[in-house]
Amino acid sequence: MNPVQIVFLVFLIVPFIEIYLLLQIGGIVGVFPTIALVVLTAIIGVGLLRQQGMATWQRFQDNLQKGEIPAYEMVEGPILLVGGALLLTPGFFTDVIGFACLIPPVRKKIAQYIIEKRLVQAEATSQQKPKAQPGVIEGEFKRED
């Protein structure tokens, strides 16, 4: 499936899930407690985002000072940004995904998957030289006029 199609489906399906969950939870606990829960998760999420973002930034700086490449930290940064954006989005489904992005072991696993499965494979395929077709002679030339 095309990545654009996946993003389209996510933007189509997630609002329906959010509305359903808000209606269900609002029916159980009431309107004002539901609104309070949404606001509370946003406030807690901002605090956690700040804490985890600073910790990731500190690890990034430490790795640079040691002369190491901060690969995990460079991938964890955007994961934190996505998690923070999801926590600020009103709703419970996006809050669950956002909080998952802020939990260090979960974030580490996501970063590990991205680095090992996506980036390393992309690098390996880009370094492969295309095979010469039969009857094609590889070479260089210089035109002298």
Encode pLDDT of 29-67 as tens digits.
999 999 999 999 999 999 999 999 999 999 999 999 999
Answer whether 50's CB lies under 8 Å from 88's CB.
no
Query: What is the C-alpha separation between 42 and 95, in angstroms, rounded?
Result: 8
Q: Is the pTM of this model over 0.85?
A: no
> Which pLDDT band, with edges at 50, 70 and 90, does 126 fall under?
low
Query: What is the C-alpha separation between 36 and 42, in angstroms, rounded?
Result: 10
Minimum mean pLDDT among 24-28, 44-48, 114-118: which range?
114-118
B/e letters for 67-101, b = 16+ CB within 10 Å, e = fewer, are eeebebbebbbebbeebbebbebebbbbbeebbeb
Query: What is the C-alpha separation between 143 and 70, in angstroms, rounded?
Result: 46
Residue 132 has pLDDT above 60, yes or no: no
Query: What is the C-alpha separation between 15 and 93, in angstroms, rounded?
Result: 9
Number of other residues whose CB lies within 10 A of the CB of residue 42? 17
